[in-house]
């Protein structure tokens, strides 16, 4: 299914189901947001992560949290659907901002519940290693997208998630990432502990041969 959307290219990856807070200050994007508010439109965050505009996420504005005297705004948005950019035009329809035709990507929610459980277990393990960082509430999570920005992925890895069409594929990718990341954190913690001990008097039991 193809639709026309105003487009907001950003060097981030927005996920469906995720809240994205934006500070709007450029004239073209102030116009975009005002048009969306006035006409009840959604817009697309086009992910300019790999220096090209190919994929993005349709979002809706859920709240304008602050308006400034000069027209700047703080807004809260919610990710809806992934799209592929078919025709990118900048400027678009005599507007200051970009826009164009996009194809909505159909997703396959084919997740394995055992893999989802394993993913949640690893997320909790990750946050236990992060110590003071408050762990997220994962009780109601049904998709990697819902917590994809909190598991230590690089932007290009987040973009890979956006390219995947199956939840089972995203779960396997995330599980593989976490099973590599957590042991690395353990090694880093062990090295940090050894460094802290350097220079201290050590009480060592003599070896018995």
Start and end residues for every CATH 2.30.130.40 domain found in the chain: 2-104
Which pLDDT belongs to residue 136? 79
Instruction: Give the pair of three-digit tokens for residue 126.
Output: 């990750």
> 2-104 has which CATH code?
2.30.130.40
Q: How many Å separate Cα 69 from the centre of its chain?
A: 31
**CB-CB contact of 57 with 45 (8 Å):** yes
pTM of the model: 0.82
Give the residue with greater pLDDT, 134 vs 195: 134
Percent of the chain with pLDDT over 70: 89
Q: Find, among 133, 177, 134, 171, the residue nearest to 153 by Cα.
A: 177
Q: Is the pLDDT of residue 124 over 80?
A: yes
């Amino acid at each position: 299914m193809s639709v026309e959307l105003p487009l907001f290219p950003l060097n981030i990856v927005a996920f469906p189901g995720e809240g994205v807070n934006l500070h709007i200050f450029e004239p073209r994007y102030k116009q975009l947001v005002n048009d969306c508010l006035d006409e009840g439109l959604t817009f697309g965050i086009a992910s300019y992560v790999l220096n090209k505009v190919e994929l993005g996420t349709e979002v809706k504005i859920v709240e304008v949290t602050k308006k400034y005297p000069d027209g700047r705004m703080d807004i809260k948005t919610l990710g809806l659907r992934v799209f592929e950019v078919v025709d990118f035009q900048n400027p678009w329809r005599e507007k200051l901002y970009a826009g164009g035709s996009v194809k909505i990507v159909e997703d396959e929610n084919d997740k394995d519940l055992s893999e989802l459980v394993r993913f949640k277990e690893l997320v909790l393990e990750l946050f236990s290693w992060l110590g003071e960082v408050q762990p997220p509430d994962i009780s109601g999570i049904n998709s990697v997208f819902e917590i994809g920005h909190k598991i230590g992925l690089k932007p290009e890895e987040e973009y890979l998630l956006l390219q995947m069409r199956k939840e089972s594929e995203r779960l396997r990718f995330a599980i593989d990432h976490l099973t590599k990341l957590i042991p690395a954190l353990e090694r880093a913690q062990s090295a940090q502990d050894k460094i802290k001990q350097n220079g201290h008097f050590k009480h060592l039991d003599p070896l018995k041969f």
